[in-house]
Amino acid sequence: MIKVAVNGYGTIGKRVADAVACQPDMEIVGVSKTSMNADAYVAKARGYPLYIADLSKRADFEDAGVPVAGSVAEMITKADVVVDATPGGVGLKNRPMYEQHGVRAIYQGGEKHATAGFSFNSSVNYDEARGRQFVRVVSCNTTGLVRIINEVDRAFGVGKVRAVMVRRGGDPGDVKRGPIDAIVLDPVTLPSHHGPDVQSVLPHIEITTAAMIVPTTFMHMHAVQMTLKRPATREQVIELFRAHSRIGLVKGPSGIRSSAELKEYMQDIGRPRSDMWENGVFEESVSVVDGTELWLFQAIHQEADVVVENVDAIRAIASDVPAAESIRMTEEALGFVALG
């Protein structure tokens, strides 16, 4: 069994912990937090030993009825792999602690590429992650872009990519984030950071991105355009996506045209926390103009798509399970079913 600790039990960390706990070859040895809140009760209910970053706050947890197993430094001595899901920038500060204990760590997209020195996507570079101490799972938007660009590139060759991201203002529990009533250009200049971030996994792809933030909490919506080096038909592209388990096709007859309806659909099919782990490519939007210009819309669930990548990243650095087998195991344990 691969022993996994989750340092930072928040939006991403709690999902990764549950996804790890249901894998046949992994176990959770601990999760950690900084301050007492509802997530600590969730960790207790799940039976995960809870460690805290600052032991002077121990009484806050124990007075609230949540036992504290020890410090973060103690937690990582029990782990083969730490998934660092602390807020962006904290992971860099944690790196000396991981180095000192010789423990492997997986960072999230809020950290820079340089913090790990290797940016990961299971469909692209799983094998190259082998033996590394540090790996970074790229952000939710970058993961969604990399999945489709890589598939299209392998089949037809991608000349250049232009993508506009309409991003959620905050996660559902982020009561202090916005906007409440605005469309914010973020940034107003081009490119947004997403294009260069895609190149941290797919360095040969020429890509320019623009991004804005809107008042919603569930999912980002991408408008993506790619030029193809070899001509393709719309049907060929859809077949390509259908064959990839992490590219879900939102079918026309479903009537779904929005993130809100997709959330409802995820709830109805019984996904934990309404999570959509795969890209939601709107099948009807897939269009090929003049044989070489591909257009599509896709929805990306910001809280979920990176979760399955984290599980594969753990196997990539801490086991000899091949990529295809890891992806299959991850999805089987979670009960993946095709979207349509």
- The one segment of 106-114, 193-201, 269-277, 322-330 that binds ligand NAD by CB under 6 A: 106-114
Contact 106, 123 (CB under 8 A): no
Position 121 contacts ligand NAD (CB under 6 A) = no
Strand partners, 32: 7, 51
Position 306 contacts ligand NAD (CB under 6 A) = yes
Q: What is the bridge-based pairing of β-strands 279-282 and 287-289?
A: unpaired
Q: Is 140 known to be catalytic?
A: yes
Q: Select from 11, 119, 192, 209 the one that contacts ligand NAD (CB under 6 A).
A: 11
Position 209 contacts ligand NAD (CB under 6 A) = no
- Residue owning tokens 């469309």: 183
141: left (phi over 0), alpha (psi -120 to 50) or beta: alpha
- The one segment of 82-90, 202-210, 222-230, 263-271 that binds ligand NAD by CB under 6 A: 82-90
Closest CA to 315 of 53, 91, 20, 75: 20
Q: Select from 115, 209, 302, 330 the one that contacts ligand NAD (CB under 6 A).
A: 302
Question: Which one is catalytic: 79, 106, 140, 256?
Answer: 140
151 three-class SS: helix
325 three-class SS: helix
When the beta carbons of 53 and 250 are compared against ligand NAD, the nearer one is: 53
When the beta carbons of 124 and 137 are compared against ligand NAD, the nearer one is: 137
Site residue total, ligand NAD (CB under 6 A): 29
The dihedral formed by the CA atoms of 139, 107, 196 and 301, expressed in degrees to the nearest 10: 0
Q: Select from 23, 108, 119, 150 the one that contacts ligand NAD (CB under 6 A).
A: 108
Per CB under 6 A, which of residues 132..151 are in contact with ligand NAD?
A: 139-140
In which element (H, E) is residue 318 found? helix 305-318
* Least distance CB 158 / ligand NAD (angstroms): 24
Q: Vertex 218, ends 39 and 270: CA angle to 5°?
A: 70
Interacting residue ranges for ligand NAD, rule: CB under 6 A = 7-13, 32-35, 39, 53, 72, 85-88, 90, 108-111, 139-140, 171, 302-303, 306
